[in-house]
Amino acid sequence: MKKVIMGNHALSYGAMLSRAQVIAAYPITPQTQVVELLSEMCADGTLNAKFIKVESEHSAMAACLGASLAGARTFTATSAQGLALMHEMLHWAAGGRMPVVMGNINRAMAPGWSIWADQNDSLSERDTGWIQFYCSSNQEVLDTVIQAFKVSEKLMIPSMIVLDAFALSHTYEVVEIPEQDKVDRFLPPFNPPWRLTPDDPHAFGGLTSPDHYMEFRYKLQKDMEKVPALVEETGKEYEKLFGRYLGQVEEYFCDEAELVFVTSGTAGYTARVAVDELRAKGIKAGNLRIKLFRPFPFEKVRDILSRVPKVAVLDRNISYGHHGIFYQEVKSAMYGQPSSPLIFGFIAGLGGRDITRDSYQEIAEYALNKNRAEEEIVWIGVKK
């Protein structure tokens, strides 16, 4: 069934179709309509889940962790300062191997207060051990929720589904809502290898001496390394049932391109239109959209970018005193490879400033005219 829904509700429908059993959330700003619809679904019986209204995002994630340990499929959503307040609990989720799935609306961090899009909130949580998916359409948001539960529960690692504020969260698009019985076939009930239960009480996350702590982290990393292959596998399985392929990256005209943009989020879709425009002008441009950011899709990125001479990485984020974060990641992936392109880093769209087709024209012009990455950061659209 096709429906015109906003990105926030694409998350809600994803959680509903995944038959989430516990949803814990803080309902005040920067929260969005994600949990508003889910609370309605819980109230009217559309979704058989326990909705826990808590007093902070920290508590929201804490409640999710308890529920997940008890064996429930668990979902929550947040944004910006809310995600930052969860920070400690994010480490608990990943370190304790609790496969919570969370939607995060990419909003810029305060101050000044902002409800507009940029990626610094989710990228500040890069090293917490969560899988991170970045989406470019409402359809992708919905499909990724369902897939994320499957990947997360198989490896016992939590997943964050990230979407841009307004450009997806409050934008209505046509979304194909999958049939419940098909989703059930794709995603069986959550059956964890251990449970928090009074029948067989265990202690979780207790004191861990230097004798063992490192091994737990080693195991988390080893399982993280299994994510890319699993995302490919579940993506193909999903495609068989629903006709839409998910995956680690989206390649658009990268073969034999003279310049490839590396993009993410909604800017990653606008880039496709910019590529079309550049190609119409005779410039062989391409776009590599990163969908899976953690773990980083090394193999795919290396395979595609080692075949092109120039790469322009667009960041809607910044690591102050360093570079845009995707730029860092792409450079680190390409370093020491037998054939490495010239890589430029651009920062645009912070705090919700629009990233347009013209932004890409400017980026392309810069990258095509330089033979060396002269500047650490090339800023796009700053009023200088």
Partner 1 sequence: MIEIRFHGRGGQGTVVASKILADALAKEGNYVQAYPEFGVERRGAPVFAFIRIDNKPIYDKSKIYNPDHVVVVDSTLVEAIDVTEGLKEGGCIIINSNNPPEHFRLPSKFKVFTVDATEIAVKHRLGTLAAPIVNTAITGAVIKILNLTRLESLVEAIREGISIKPEDNVKAAIEAYERA
Partner 2 sequence: MSKKKEARKITFESEKEMPVAPMSLGSMLYNKTGAWRNIKPVIDLSRCIKCGICWKFCPDASIDIVDDWPQINYVYCKGCGLCAEECPQKCIAMVEEEK
* Interface residues toward partner 2, by CB under 8 A: 95-98, 156, 193-194, 200-206, 208, 211-213, 215-216, 218-219, 223
Stretch 116-145 residues interacting with partner 1 (CB under 8 A): 116, 136
Check residue 352 for interaction with partner 1 (CB under 8 A).
yes
For partner 1, which is the closer residue by CB, 86 or 267? Answer: 267
For partner 1, which is the closer residue by CB, 1 or 203? Answer: 1
Binding mask 31-70 for partner 1 (x = CB under 8 A): ----------------------------------------
Stretch 155-194 residues interacting with partner 1 (CB under 8 A): 164-168, 170-174
Candidates 250, 260, 255; CA nearest to 297 is 250
The per-residue b/e assignment along 179-201, b for 16 or more CB within 10 angstroms, e otherwise, is: eeeebeebbeebebeeebeeeee
Binding segment toward partner 1, per CB under 8 A, in 58-66, 86-94, 270-278, 329-337: 270-278
Binding segment toward partner 1, per CB under 8 A, in 54-62, 224-232, 300-308, 350-358: 350-358
How far, in Å, CA of 135 to CA of 3, rounded? 18
- The two tokens of residue 169 are 């969260």
For partner 1, which is the closer residue by CB, 116 or 186? Answer: 116
Burial zone of 222 (CB within 10 Å; 0-12 exposed, 13-18 middle, 19+ buried): exposed
Residue 379 touches which of partner 1, partner 2, none (Cβ within 5-8 Å per kind)? none
One-letter amino acid for residue 218 of the chain: Y
Q: Is the dihedral of CA 273, 270, 265, 343 positive or negative?
A: positive
For partner 1, which is the closer residue by CB, 214 or 273? Answer: 273
Q: How far is the CB of 120 from partner 2 (least distance, A)?
A: 30
For partner 1, which is the closer residue by CB, 234 or 317? Answer: 317
How far, in Å, CA of 237 to CA of 216, rounded? 30
Residue 357 touches which of partner 1, partner 2, none (Cβ within 5-8 Å per kind)? partner 1
How far, in Å, CA of 90 to CA of 127, rounded? 10
Check residue 354 for interaction with partner 1 (CB under 8 A).
yes
Residue 202 touches which of partner 1, partner 2, none (Cβ within 5-8 Å per kind)? partner 2
The one among 1, 2, 280, 371 contacting partner 1 by CB under 8 A: 2
Check residue 261 for interaction with partner 1 (CB under 8 A).
no
The answer to whether 80 and 109 have CB atoms below 8 angstroms apart is yes
For partner 2, which is the closer residue by CB, 29 or 197? Answer: 197
- The two tokens of residue 196 are 């928090």
Helices 80-95, 213-224: inter-axial angle, 10-degree rounding? 110
The one among 4, 43, 214, 229 contacting partner 1 by CB under 8 A: 4
Candidates 373, 374, 371, 312; CA nearest to 347 is 312
The distance from CA 376 to its chain's CA centroid, rounded to whole angstroms, is 26
Q: Compute how many other C-beta atoms are within 10 angstroms of the C-beta atom of residue 55.
A: 9
Residue 219 touches which of partner 2, partner 1, none (Cβ within 5-8 Å per kind)? partner 2
One-letter amino acid for residue 383 of the chain: K
Task: Please write down the long-range contacts of 300-303, taking CB distance under 8 Å and 24 or more positions apart.
Answer: 300/228, 300/248, 300/249, 301/249, 301/262, 301/330, 301/333, 301/334, 302/333, 302/334, 302/337
Q: How far is the CB of 190 from partner 1 (least distance, A)?
A: 33
The one among 266, 317, 333, 343 contacting partner 1 by CB under 8 A: 266
Q: How far is the CB of 104 from partner 1 (least distance, A)?
A: 18
Question: In the chain, what is the greatest distance between 2 CA atoms, to the nearest angstrom?
Answer: 69
Q: How far is the CB of 260 from partner 1 (least distance, A)?
A: 17
The one among 22, 355, 364, 380 contacting partner 1 by CB under 8 A: 355
Residue 136 touches which of partner 2, partner 1, none (Cβ within 5-8 Å per kind)? partner 1
- The two tokens of residue 321 are 């005193």
Candidates 194, 177, 208, 302; CA nearest to 249 is 302
Chain residues in the site for partner 1 (CB under 8 A): 2, 4, 115-116, 136, 164-168, 170-174, 266-267, 269-270, 272-273, 352, 354-357
